[in-house]
Structure 1
């Protein structure tokens, strides 16, 4: 571990990030870490960082100079910069911005990283959505009509209450039945059999999701 905190940490990636989204992430976090090229976004905002972690092939010279004393070079190429950060941050929750809106392959790799490291509780925010790995059980107080997309990254089953199209009795798979564009009929309860299901909600629910993941008693090993 490189950084430790008993409070949520912010993680900034190298993709474009809206100021309002970043401000929301920072307001929920105590420490801030940048993933490689995300240091440029931090430097432009004059942010104090706890660490810059990655293979450092994307960091700008200005950002390198600004954070020279907290650069952590991880040379291996078997993981993304997002994963390099995720496994070296010890916090009850990691809230990331700057990981969507750029290259599609990068976005897919980030989704893969959420599933590959299920013990890390992490929410990522984009321009319109948040995404996080569903814990074994969750309960969200959603308004009726709220979009709830469930995307499987592997075979997974589950049960739901409060969704217009329940998932009970279904086997969700990335190459078969998926669960996008569902919607809430009121508060939603969800339980799943494996750490394979991504939950995608409107970005307005960032705080609610952060509170849920911080307090949900069940977690993946």
Structure 2
């Protein structure tokens, strides 16, 4: 197997075997996003009337491992240490990655997707999207636009200290967050622009309503 990562200059959408909102997938594709199926997620891409740029995984759940259109690259990775989502992440490079069908259907799959996002958050921005929310895994500071009064949740993917924040009802200034301790969920925006500045490059999760997917993608592309 060729171990050279697949490099994409546009937004990359990795599709898993969970619930996938077809109109959203089609809209992202029509806006120029590239599509990769994480094993059986490739079937969801085809069912939406689209063709994946690649199929990556151990190929134990895809309907037909061999019958793909000519443009589609198939990367059969047999190791069982990582999930198919992780295989997609270490086999690709992209300025922004959106993951569909990775959360919401099975809780253990959701946890494994968050774990994978944590592992790669220092290298790339990863947005997990489901029917209700978008969760952006990243490291370092981030600034984004939001309507005052909307929910803004921050969740520590590892023990993390925050230097300061702007635009939040409950400031993060000087706070230490960690799982099993103080976390930052169900905060609220009080300004149209929110800025969050952690100390160092510890991964953290920003959770917003799904309607902010396009805004997050634009902000990440601008940073890139």
TM-score, normalisation: structure 2 = 0.89
Q: Is the 8 A contact 1:74 1:84 kept in 2?
A: yes
The corresponding residue for 2:20 is 17
Deviation digits for residues 121-163 of structure 1, max 9, x if unmatched?
2212110111112331111111101111111111001121111
The aligned residue for residue 66 of structure 1 is 68
Partners of 1:86 and 1:96 in 2: CA distance: 10
2:188 is aligned, of 150, 160, 183, to: 183
More divergent stretch after superposition (18-27 vs 154-163) = 18-27
Task: Look up the match of 1:198.
Answer: 205
Q: 1:214 aligns with which of 198, 215, 221?
A: 221
- Answer with 175-184 or 25-34: which moved more: 25-34
| Change over 3 Å in CA distance of 1:67–1:177 after alignment to 2 | farther
Name structure 2 gaps, 5 residues minimum: none
2: CA distance between counterparts of 1:95 and 1:212? Answer: 14
Q: Compared with structure 1, are the counterparts of its residues 46 and 24 closer, same or farther at alpha carbon in structure 2 (3 Å cutoff)?
A: closer
Q: Distance in 1 between matches of 2:36 and 2:84?
A: 12
Q: CA deviation at 1:110?
A: 0.7
CA change 1:149–1:188 in 2 (3 A) is: same
Sort the Cα spacing of 1:151 and 1:29 in 2 relative to 1 into closer, same or farther, 3 A: farther
How far does residue 65 in structure 1 lie from its aligned partner after superposition?
Answer: 2.3
Question: Structure 2 residue aligned with 1:101, among 95, 99, 104?
Answer: 104
Instruction: Verify the 8 A CA contact 1:121 1:213 in the aligned structure 2.
Output: yes
CA positional deviation for 1:64 = 4.8
Q: Does 1:130 align with 2:134?
A: yes
Aligned partners of 1:54, 1:162: CA distance in 2, in Å? 41
Q: Is the 8 A contact 1:54 1:84 kept in 2?
A: yes
- Contact residue 5 and residue 91 of structure 2 kept, 8 A: yes
CA contact (8 A) 2:126 2:138 kept: no
Determine the structure 1 residue equivalent to 2:120: 117
Alignment of 1:23-172 (within 5 A): 23-61=26-64, 64-66=66-68, 70-118=73-121, 119-158=123-162, 159-172=164-177
RMSD of aligned residue pairs (Cα, Å): 1.8
Normalised by the length of structure 1, the TM-score is 0.91
Residue 165 of structure 2 contacts residue 172 of structure 2 at CA under 8 Å; is this kept in 1?
yes
Aligned-partner Cα distance in 2 for 1:36–1:85: 9
